[in-house]
Structure 1
Amino acid sequence: MKSGTLSYLLLCSLAQRVKVQPEVVTYPGQTVILRCQFPDPGKTELTQVSWILEGVSSRTNIAVFHPKFGINYPLSPVDGRVSFMIDPPPLDNPTIQITDIQMTDEGKYICEYATYPSGNEQGVTSLVLLAKPANSATIIPVPAGSTPVAVARCESANGRPPAAISWVTAVGGNASSPGTMQNSDNTVTVRGEYWLVPTLADNGKDISCVVTHRTLATPQTFPMNLVIEYPPQVKIVGYDNNWYLGRTNVVLTCQADGNPIPTTVTWRTMSGLMPDPVQVNENKLTVLKVDETVNATFICEVRNRLGTGRDQVTTAVREAPAPPSNAGVVAGAVIGSLLAILLVGVLISVLVSRSRRQQQGYRGNSKADSAAHLYSSGGKNGAGNNGNNNTPIYRGEAGLSEKAANHGVHPGGVALVESTPTAQDILLSSELDEAERRKFDELEEEDERYDNFRPGGPILQLRPHDEDLGAGYLDDMESQRDGSVISRTAVYV
């Protein structure tokens, strides 16, 4: 091992015998205590201790203690504000204090011992002063353009140590390198800017400056909105291409967007003359009644500090539309009438259907009743049969079967009673289904067999033989379930 390296290690080992604080942090105006100890001198003789302020370019003694000659405070930047904590201090613990700390007091403070036989030994304390900066951020209004410019500025002034500045935004730009300025009081001011090519689309976009500093528990954020200036953008709305003669209160609106806000709105026509029916109120143009004079080109001009924007619309006046036709009313009335007729028809159909259901039990007997056999005196061929008559008398309508038609009045006492059929009989007879017609045919066959039958005994009748077959006689007859009719008063043997 080289001798130089051995000497360096020995010095480091000796230097460690002086105990100091590596760093002391304080604020302007505070009182700071700088500690120094030589805890185990052993055979080393301590002859003197000195506190030295080491600046950028010089070293200055600020406090000296000699056991024989006492305490001395040489002229220094801390003169009048520095003192030993104990007067006189113990040589092995020469701690000092500095009051009313100023930003210029920051630096390295060395506690140095003069010893025998080892020579001088020391310990170094770094005094760090913190100054809370004054932070701010501002937006820089700029006109829309095609070259990059600064649109926002952020500043952290009079801080110690220097602050860090960053940006948060969604717009496409770049942050400039922060500029640092050293102040006379040893504080630092940091400034940063954000640059971009300003466009109308960037106006109002969010941007934030974020300042980070040792004195702040959390970073300080300044949210802002970009201000991009541009001349007015103008558009006329409200024309529907349907200005006809006589139309009233049609309105054109001049919509304008600009930054700064437009201050002047002017309406004019291409010819320079405003028609009589027109009224202008700021950004609105109202035509009280459309006539030929408003067949023109209207122009709206809007101004702000950066310039003028304009838009125009050409109106075309049409003929007045024809009066509305009443065809719709007539068609509605016709349709309503048809619906009413249909409703009445449906109602009648429902009532007829209900009536048919109520008379369903009589449909099977309607045809038989219309040709009911009524029994009277006299034989079928005109010959008497002990005063009794088994020949049926038919009560029915025109168009009966040939068999029934042959039973007219003749010398044998046979009578055919005819009656005019009712509308219900016709309706019911026409509604007979095939099964009911077959039933009626079977009844006719049965009647024919009965006509050919020669009963063995007489029928006792309670009325005279020559009694008129009138309405009372018909009331005496009673219909049976099989379609036949019998007398209520006749006694059959």
Structure 2
Amino acid sequence: MARDYASRRPGSWLAAAAAALLLAAQGIWCQKVRVEEELEAYPTESVDLRCQFIDGGGLTKLTQVSWIWEPVDGQRDNIAVYHPVYGESFPNLSFKGRVAFLHNRLENPSIRISNLRMSDAGRYTCEYATYPSGNEQGTTTLIMLAKPRNSANVVTVQAGTKSVVVARCEAADGKPAATIKWLASVGGNHSTSSTSGPDGTVTVRSEYRLVPTAADNGREVTCMVDQRTQERPWVNSVKLSVEYPPSVSIEGYDNNWYVGRSDAALLCLANANPAPTTVTWTAASGPLPETVVVDGNRLEVRKVDDAVNTTFICEVKNKHGASRHQITTFVSEALEDPSSAGTVAGVVIGSLLALLLVVALIAVLLTRSRRQQRRGYPSSGDSIATGSGGSNGGDYGNKARLLFSSSANNGSKNGGTGANNNGPIYTYREGCDATGTLTE
């Protein structure tokens, strides 16, 4: 019937809508208790809950005001009451000594709660008893915040084939709950769980897991915690701790051990976590040679001889196991002293140079001798001078052989007759030129 009536009257639905808006507006303007809608606070701090009664016409009579705490739905506890005649009252023992009125006036019954606790969170209602309108109220929601206590740590594990927890990150007793992320270059995954405390705080825990290897030891994983109370994310990096048995190698052998060498040594290197507990040197041929001295992971040969022509073995142990490595050394004959070799080389080179010098000198002397012989003794094809006035057009050098017969001389005196049985006469001319003239 109502629907039919409204449909028969034009604009009736508009009237109904206007009435609804008017009622809403009256409800808004009739709100006489002014409070803050929401506040945030931290433990051990203080907070002011403000309340003020607004009476535009001054027709409302205030009887008393109360602050009512609602920690959860359905629970209402008076924590502070003010009466203009009877004064203040604080009936809730959990707020005793922590709550106080700021102005002691009905029109402005604001309170302060000190030494806040996480359990103080909830709704706080400022409620007036008035005449003639009855009770008037306004509600403020108090949100308690807590900064989490963040931490990150590694879990020492042993290298293996199963996925295990290698690092943990925790954001304890925070409100609201924190979120945790991991940043890592190693392959792995994480799981997160949370636990609520009796005071409304939340503890968030996250575990990072992987299959650990020796190569993962010392690598970094980073935990990042984000939470409302923090200005920026909390970041902390930790280094993984993976334990494993030793792996061993030997260094120092240069394939040049010769008899008499005094600077030969071997070094046993081990990669292990934790550090090796023992390092042992042995020889495959039996006891270590007398010329060998062992100092931890170093084996030093004081003087190389045939006794070190063997196989040396280094064994390393830690709590997770043992490992060994061996190397065979070969000893060659003694090498010449570099200084004596240099001396011998110098002598050889000097002897060769001296020999070359002698050969060159002999060659020069032979050449000069041959030249002088050719100049002093003419060959059979040359003519010989027959007199002082004779001319032959040849040069016989400093030495010339002249043949004179006594018959020639006598012939010049005796008319060219007579004979001379004397033999040939050899004479030497000094400094003669081509004409037979004597020179200086």
C-alpha distance in 2, partners of 1:338/1:12? 135
Paired residues of 2:266 and 2:300 also in contact (CA < 8 A):
yes
Q: Which residue of 2 aligns with 1:231?
A: 245
Residue of structure 2 aligned with 1:75, choices 92, 99, 104? 92
1:395-434 correspondence to structure 2 within 5 Å: none
Following TM superposition, by how much is the alpha carbon of 1:300 offset from its aligned partner in structure 2, in angstroms?
Answer: 0.7
Give the 3 Å change call, closer, same or farther, for CA 17–274 of structure 1 in structure 2: same
Q: Which residue of 2 aligns with 1:411?
A: none
C-alpha distance in 2, partners of 1:27/1:120? 32
Paired residues of 1:60 and 1:76 also in contact (CA < 8 A):
no
C-alpha distance in 2, partners of 1:330/1:127? 106
Q: Does 1:105 align with 2:120?
A: yes
C-alpha distance in 2, partners of 1:33/1:146? 59
Q: Which residue of 2 aligns with 1:302?
A: 316
C-alpha distance in 2, partners of 1:255/1:10? 87
Q: Which residue of 2 aligns with 1:38?
A: 53
| AA aligned opposite 1:73 | F
C-alpha distance in 2, partners of 1:300/1:12? 93
Give the 3 Å change call, closer, same or farther, for CA 80–11 of structure 1 in structure 2: farther
C-alpha distance in 2, partners of 1:63/1:323? 106
Residue of structure 2 aligned with 1:84, choices 101, 120, 123? 101
Q: Does 1:259 align with 2:259?
A: no
Q: Which residue of 1 aligns with 2:169?
A: 154
Paired residues of 1:231 and 1:307 also in contact (CA < 8 A):
yes
C-alpha distance in 2, partners of 1:15/1:307? 84
Q: Which residue of 1 aligns with 2:69?
A: 53
| AA aligned opposite 1:146 | T
Greater Cα offset, 305-314 or 166-175: 166-175
Q: Which residue of 1 aligns with 2:254?
A: 240
Q: Which residue of 1 aligns with 2:372?
A: none
C-alpha distance in 2, partners of 1:99/1:302? 65
Q: Which residue of 1 aligns with 2:295?
A: 281
Q: Deviations over 1:111-168 (max 9, x none)?
A: 2334566654432222233444433322222222233222222233334444443334
C-alpha distance in 2, partners of 1:211/1:339? 91
Residue of structure 2 aligned with 1:167, choices 169, 182, 188? 182
Q: Does 1:180 align with 2:194?
A: yes
Q: Which residue of 2 aligns with 1:129?
A: 144
Following TM superposition, by how much is the alpha carbon of 1:5 offset from its aligned partner in structure 2, in angstroms?
Answer: 7.4
Following TM superposition, by how much is the alpha carbon of 1:470 offset from its aligned partner in structure 2, in angstroms?
Answer: 12
TM-score, length-scaled by structure 1 = 0.60
Following TM superposition, by how much is the alpha carbon of 1:255 offset from its aligned partner in structure 2, in angstroms?
Answer: 0.7
| AA aligned opposite 1:304 | N
Aligned sequence identity (%): 48
| AA aligned opposite 1:62 | I
Give the 3 Å change call, closer, same or farther, for CA 330–113 of structure 1 in structure 2: same
Greater Cα offset, 289-298 or 42-51: 42-51
Paired residues of 2:68 and 2:124 also in contact (CA < 8 A):
yes
Paired residues of 1:397 and 1:420 also in contact (CA < 8 A):
no
C-alpha distance in 2, partners of 1:69/1:15? 29
Q: How many residues align?
A: 350
Q: Does 1:293 align with 2:307?
A: yes
Q: Which residue of 2 aligns with 1:353?
A: none
SS at match of 1:122: strand
C-alpha distance in 2, partners of 1:318/1:33? 95
Give the 3 Å change call, closer, same or farther, for CA 335–53 of structure 1 in structure 2: farther
Give the 3 Å change call, closer, same or farther, for CA 290–212 of structure 1 in structure 2: same
Paired residues of 2:249 and 2:268 also in contact (CA < 8 A):
yes
Q: Which residue of 2 aligns with 1:364?
A: none
Give the 3 Å change call, closer, same or farther, for CA 43–240 of structure 1 in structure 2: same
Paired residues of 2:71 and 2:120 also in contact (CA < 8 A):
no
Q: Deviations over 1:380-413 (max 9, x none)?
A: xxxxxxxxxxxxxxxx997xxxxxxxxxxxxxxx
Give the 3 Å change call, closer, same or farther, for CA 282–470 of structure 1 in structure 2: closer
Q: Deviations over 1:68-96 (max 9, x none)?
A: 76644333532443232233x22x32211
Q: Which residue of 2 aligns with 1:64?
A: 81
C-alpha distance in 2, partners of 1:306/1:263? 10
Following TM superposition, by how much is the alpha carbon of 1:308 offset from its aligned partner in structure 2, in angstroms?
Answer: 1.1
TM-score, length-scaled by structure 2 = 0.66
Q: Which residue of 2 aligns with 1:205?
A: 219
Q: Which segments of 5 or more consecutive residues in structure 1 lack a partner in the other structure?
A: 342-395, 399-417, 422-468, 472-493
C-alpha distance in 1, partners of 2:306/2:152? 59
SS at match of 1:104: helix
Q: Which residue of 2 aligns with 1:195?
A: 209
Alignment RMSD, CA only? Answer: 4.0
Paired residues of 1:44 and 1:118 also in contact (CA < 8 A):
no
Q: Which residue of 2 aligns with 1:23?
A: 38
C-alpha distance in 2, partners of 1:119/1:339? 141
| AA aligned opposite 1:167 | W
Q: Deviations over 1:239-265 (max 9, x none)?
A: 223334444442111111211111210
